[in-house]
Structure 1
Amino acid sequence: MTDPQIAIAMLGIFIFLVFLGFPIAFTLMAMGIGFGYYAYFDPSRMWRTYNRLAEDASIFEQIRLWIDGFFTNRIFDLFVNQTYTVMSNEVLTAIPLFLFMGYIVERANIVERLFTTLNIAAKNIPGSLGVAALITCMFFATATGIVGAVVTLMGLLALPAMLRARYDHSFASGIICAGGTLGILIPPSIMLIVYAAASGVSIVRLYAAALLPGLLLTGLYLIYVVSRSIAQPHVAPKPAPGEIPEVPLGKLLVMVFTSFVPLAFLILSVLGSILFGLATPTEAASIGALGGLFLAVVYRALTWQRLRESVYLTVRTTAMVCWLFVGSYTFSSVFSYLGGENLIAHFVEGLDLSPVTFLILAQLIIFLLGWPLEWSEIIIIFVPIFLPLLDQFGVDPLFFGVLVALNLQTSFLTPPMAMSAYYLKGIAPAQVKLTEIFKGCMPYLVMVIIAMVLVYVFPQIVFWLPGLVYG
């Protein structure tokens, strides 16, 4: 076999092992080191080490020299260097800070206050509970960026309220599942940070580019919820008299000020400081983490137990992302060194694709990868395979990143591997069936596709804000 064929076999074995359930980060590292040992093997260097073996050397000296000879391979230097590169990456430093902000906000009871306030404020809108749940999901998902946390907490908070209000099971479930995924698109998104680190695109420009598409998708979700509530009133019955308490305007304004304004101010201050160049993403994330702690203190929700849980979950998630980067960098370096990247590039060139066809093919592959894989694995492992091809087809990496972020919404909503549905089913009442949750997710897939088409047809949705702010 030639080196490029070995590289393709390496990729195929990795995908096979992932489907068997092996941990992705450690599989990447093992595959990278294993195939890298072959790729960087230098017999002359090893024989020079073995020739140092003396006949009268002690057994311990011989063992030491044999071990030294075995590790005389550049793959181990590469692995160490890649680990250091990830540890010193300034873009990735923002990840644990944003995660900590999200976990603190999750435990500060802010979300419950926000949902209650929005439910009262939107009571005259068709599907008011669904609208309140969707907007709450958007703000909470933006603050935390963790799909599982948003879907789980909103499933415990909003789903029982919608079921008590006689909402259709699938309609209510779809709102929570779709709303919970918005945080990986709307800045400050952790997914966009990871894409920026993998692609070299400016995270500041990427945040600006993703803001309008994120609001566009949220708007499409809201239009669908309200329109279906009007067209099919039985899926979202109007609240019965007295079901939602009457609150005087003054008290409602106080509720909005104490629930909606603090979280919105925290998110906008973090995002605004990044977009207007007042702070780097890492500095803004530090402000956000401190602001989350401050809100938890103000709401009297900061306890030692909650602080410890937040720190533990932050460290665990950050470690997972960083080890994925280490494994991916090692794997991709060996894959490229063996010629796998060039082989794929030549294959795509031979297909004679137009830019539109290339984008459709790339997004289709990412859509299919979203079934068995999380967004982090897709961004870190597979998106870099497409990045070298963007220049060939004249596709801006900024535009491609926003399309990928939109596309990855579907990875959480598409049966049979819709992770949002499984998160919700894990905490939903027994009468809510998994098939009903799947059914509720399907209309939002159509909304995502519509958003992707609009972004492609009107690319200024992506480029207008970065051009306005940064030129």
Structure 2
Amino acid sequence: MTDPVLAVTMLGIFILIVFLGFPIAFTLMAMGLGFGYYAYFDADLMWRTLGRLDETAGSLETFSAWLGGFFNNRIFDLFVNQSYTVMSNQILTAVPLFLFMGYMVERANIVDRLFNTLNIAAKRIPGSMGVAALLTCALFATASGIVGAVVTLMGLLALPAMLKARYDTSFASGIICAGGTLGILIPPSIMLIVYGAAASVSVVQLYAAAMFPGLLLAGLYIVYVMGRSILQPSIAPRPAEGEIPDISTPRLVWMLITSFLPLAFLILAVLGSILGGLATPTEAASMGALGGIVLAFVYRAMTWQRLREAVYLTARTTAMVCWLFIGSYIFSSVFSYLGGEKVISEFVQSMNLTPLTFLILAQLIIFLLGWPLEWSEIIIIFVPIFLPLLEIFEVDPIFFGVLVALNLQTSFLTPPMAMSAYYLKGIAPPDVRLVQIFKGCMPFLAMVFITMALVYIFPDLVFYLPEVFYGR
């Protein structure tokens, strides 16, 4: 078996093992070490190690020599070097800080107040409760970037309220699932940090590039909810008289100031310092983490138990991402050394694709991968396979990254592994069926595809802000 064939076999076995349910990070490391041992094996070096034994050597010395010969393989040096590379990556330092900010905001008890305030403020709008839920999801998802936390919290808070207001179950479920995923697209997004590290592109420029597409997608969600509510009033009835209290304008303004402005100010301060060049993403994330703690104190939600939970969840999620990076680096290094990337590159070039058809093919593959895999695994493991092809097809890696970020919204919404649907099902009332949640998610998938088409047709949606802030 030639080395390129072995590389393709390595990739196929990995996909099979992942589908069987084995932990992905450790599967990557095991596959990389196993195939890498063959790839970097040097028989002469092993025999030279054994040749240093004399005839009087005992069994212990012989065993030690064999052991030394076995571990005298460059794959183990690669493992150590790649682990150190991940630990010393300055870009990834922002991940635990943004995660900690999100977990602290989640525990600040600000979201229920924000939803209630927006619900009162938007009560005259068609589908007012759905619009309020989407705005709350978007703001909270942007502050936290943790899809599971947003969907779970909003499912506990907004779903019972919408069902009580006689909203259609599928419609209400789709709103929460779709709104909860916006945090991986709208900056400050952890997903964009991970993509920036994998693709070696500027996270700051990625943030600027993703701003308009993210807001466009959120806007299309709101337009869909309002339009569907007008065309089918039965799925989102207007609130009955007295169902939502009438309050004076000064009191409503005060409610908005105390619920909306603090969180919005935190997000804008973090984003503004990054886009304005006042701070790196890591520095801005550290200030955001401090801001999350301050918000928890201001809203009298800071306890030792909540702080411990936030630290624990931050450490656990960060460890998962970093182990995935280590495994992916080892796997991809061996895969490339065996000639796998060259095989894929030659195969794609032989198809005589245009840049458009290449983008469609790449996004289709990522869309299909989103069914069984989560975004972190797709970004760290599979997206790097496409990166060497971008230069061949003259595709900007930042433009490609924004399309991927949009596409990965679907990985949370498409069965069978629609994680947003499962998060919501876990806390929804018993009579809410999983099929109803899936049905509610489908129209929002159409909004994602429309946004991707608009981004391709009008690329300035991606390039305008990076050019304004940083030049071409």
TM-score range relative to shorter protein: over 0.9
| Identical aligned residues as a percent | 77
Distance between the aligned counterparts of 1:284 and 1:62, measured in 2? Answer: 56
Distance between the aligned counterparts of 1:454 and 1:350, measured in 2? Answer: 29
Post-superposition shift, 1:204? 0.5
Corresponding residue of 1:346: 346
Q: Which amino acid aligns with 2:15?
A: I
Q: Which amino acid aligns with 1:369?
A: L
Post-superposition shift, 1:9? 0.2
Q: Which amino acid aligns with 1:250?
A: P
Post-superposition shift, 1:55? 2.5
Distance between the aligned counterparts of 1:125 and 1:151, measured in 2? Answer: 23
Corresponding residue of 1:201: 201
Q: Which amino acid aligns with 1:435?
A: V
Corresponding residue of 2:105: 105
Distance between the aligned counterparts of 2:87 and 2:469, measured in 1? Answer: 31
Post-superposition shift, 1:433? 1.0
Corresponding residue of 1:301: 301
Corresponding residue of 1:250: 250
TM-score by length of 1: 0.99
Corresponding residue of 1:173: 173
Corresponding residue of 2:441: 441
Post-superposition shift, 1:264? 0.3
Runs of 4+ in 1 over 3 A off after TM superposition: none
Q: Which amino acid aligns with 1:346?
A: E
Corresponding residue of 2:406: 406
Distance between the aligned counterparts of 1:54 and 1:368, measured in 2? Answer: 59
DSSP 3-state at the match of 1:423: helix
Distance between the aligned counterparts of 1:102 and 1:236, measured in 2? Answer: 31
Post-superposition shift, 1:254? 1.1
Corresponding residue of 1:44: 44
Distance between the aligned counterparts of 2:295 and 2:181, measured in 1? Answer: 24
Distance between the aligned counterparts of 2:197 and 2:394, measured in 1? Answer: 21
Residue 121 of structure 2 corresponds to residue 121 of structure 1: yes
Distance between the aligned counterparts of 1:308 and 1:60, measured in 2? Answer: 48
Post-superposition shift, 1:245? 1.1
Q: Which amino acid aligns with 1:410?
A: T
Conserved 8 A contact 2:372-2:416: no
Distance between the aligned counterparts of 1:20 and 1:51, measured in 2? Answer: 43
Residue 87 of structure 2 corresponds to residue 87 of structure 1: yes
Residue 10 of structure 2 corresponds to residue 13 of structure 1: no
CA deviation profile, 1:401-426 (whole Å, cap 9, x unmatched):
00000000011111222111111011
Corresponding residue of 2:61: 61
Corresponding residue of 2:74: 74
Q: Which amino acid aligns with 1:393?
A: F
Conserved 8 A contact 2:114-2:259: yes
Post-superposition shift, 1:61? 2.1
Q: Which amino acid aligns with 2:105?
A: V
CA deviation profile, 1:379-437 (whole Å, cap 9, x unmatched):
00000000000011110001000000000001111122211111101110011111111
For structure 2, list consecutive stretches of 5 or more residues without a partner in the other structure.
none
Q: Which has the larger displacement, 59-68 or 94-103?
A: 59-68
CA deviation profile, 1:174-225 (whole Å, cap 9, x unmatched):
0000000000000000000000000011000000000000000000000000
Distance between the aligned counterparts of 2:316 and 2:167, measured in 1? Answer: 37
DSSP 3-state at the match of 2:92: coil
TM-score by length of 2: 0.99
Distance between the aligned counterparts of 1:339 and 1:291, measured in 2? Answer: 48
Residue 226 of structure 2 corresponds to residue 219 of structure 1: no
Corresponding residue of 2:186: 186
Distance between the aligned counterparts of 2:44 and 2:299, measured in 1? Answer: 67
CA deviation profile, 1:20-57 (whole Å, cap 9, x unmatched):
00000000000000000000000111011111222222
Instruction: Give the number of equivalent residue pairs.
Output: 471
Distance between the aligned counterparts of 1:139 and 1:44, measured in 2? Answer: 61
Corresponding residue of 2:370: 370
Distance between the aligned counterparts of 2:258 and 2:168, measured in 1? Answer: 31
Post-superposition shift, 1:253? 1.0
Distance between the aligned counterparts of 1:61 and 1:46, measured in 2? Answer: 15
Residue 277 of structure 2 corresponds to residue 277 of structure 1: yes
Distance between the aligned counterparts of 1:238 and 1:453, measured in 2? Answer: 33
Q: Which has the larger displacement, 455-464 or 236-245?
A: 236-245
DSSP 3-state at the match of 1:388: helix
Post-superposition shift, 1:246? 1.3
DSSP 3-state at the match of 1:399: helix
Post-superposition shift, 1:59? 2.7
Distance between the aligned counterparts of 2:54 and 2:225, measured in 1? Answer: 80
Post-superposition shift, 1:17? 0.2
Distance between the aligned counterparts of 1:416 and 1:51, measured in 2? Answer: 56
Conserved 8 A contact 2:115-2:133: yes
Residue 369 of structure 2 corresponds to residue 357 of structure 1: no
DSSP 3-state at the match of 2:179: helix
CA deviation profile, 1:139-188 (whole Å, cap 9, x unmatched):
11111111111111100000000000000000000000000000000000
Corresponding residue of 1:260: 260
Distance between the aligned counterparts of 2:17 and 2:434, measured in 1? Answer: 28
Distance between the aligned counterparts of 1:173 and 1:21, measured in 2? Answer: 28
Distance between the aligned counterparts of 2:265 and 2:89, measured in 1? Answer: 29
Distance between the aligned counterparts of 2:61 and 2:444, measured in 1? Answer: 66
Q: Which amino acid aligns with 1:178?
A: A
Corresponding residue of 1:319: 319
Post-superposition shift, 1:269? 0.3
Over aligned residue pairs, what C-alpha RMSD do you find? 0.6
Distance between the aligned counterparts of 2:409 and 2:397, measured in 1? Answer: 19
Distance between the aligned counterparts of 1:324 and 1:54, measured in 2? Answer: 44
Distance between the aligned counterparts of 1:143 and 1:86, measured in 2? Answer: 25
Distance between the aligned counterparts of 1:123 and 1:135, measured in 2? Answer: 13
DSSP 3-state at the match of 1:82: helix
Post-superposition shift, 1:66? 1.4
Corresponding residue of 1:4: 4
Distance between the aligned counterparts of 1:27 and 1:298, measured in 2? Answer: 44
Post-superposition shift, 1:307? 0.3
